[in-house]
């Protein structure tokens, strides 16, 4: 009976990030920025070396996607930082 109760419990989720980020949170955000930057650079490098125009186009799309993700994360961090200063 106790097992049934624990499986029916609702998991608490955060609807918005906390006002203060832990060191672990900051390190993870730094990793996410780094992963996207590296993926963007690799896609660009591979695209410049590619001779097949279709593959080159797809690699450029991949690079643009990672750049977009990088910019979105950075923008979110900057806007949250501005809000916490005010």
Domain that holds residue 50: 20-85
Kindly state the percentage of the chain with pLDDT values over 90. Answer: 57
- Residue 9 reports pLDDT greater than 90: no
pTM of the model: 0.70
Residue 3 is assigned to a structural domain of this protein: no
Residue 14 is assigned to a structural domain of this protein: no
Residue 13 is assigned to a structural domain of this protein: no
Kindly state the percentage of the chain with pLDDT values over 70. Answer: 78
Question: How many structural domains is the chain composed of?
Answer: 1
Residue 79 CA, distance from chain mean position: 16
Q: Average pLDDT over the chain, rounded to whole?
A: 85
* Two structure tokens written together for 64: 């643009």
C-alpha span between 42 and 46 (Å, rounded): 6
pLDDT tens-digit map of 14-52: 787 667 778 898 899 999 999 999 999 999 999 999 999
Query: How is residue 19 annotated by DSSP?
Result: S
């Amino acid at each position: 009976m106790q097992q049934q109760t624990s499986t029916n419990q609702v998991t608490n989720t955060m609807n918005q990030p906390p006002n203060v980020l832990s060191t672990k949170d900051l390190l993870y955000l730094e990793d996410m920025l780094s992963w996207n930057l590296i993926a963007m650079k690799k896609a660009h490098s591979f695209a410049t070396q590619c001779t097949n125009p279709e593959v080159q186009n797809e690699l450029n799309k991949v690079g643009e996607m990672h750049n977009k993700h990088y910019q979105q994360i950075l923008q979110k961090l900057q806007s949250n930082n501005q809000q916490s200063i005010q």
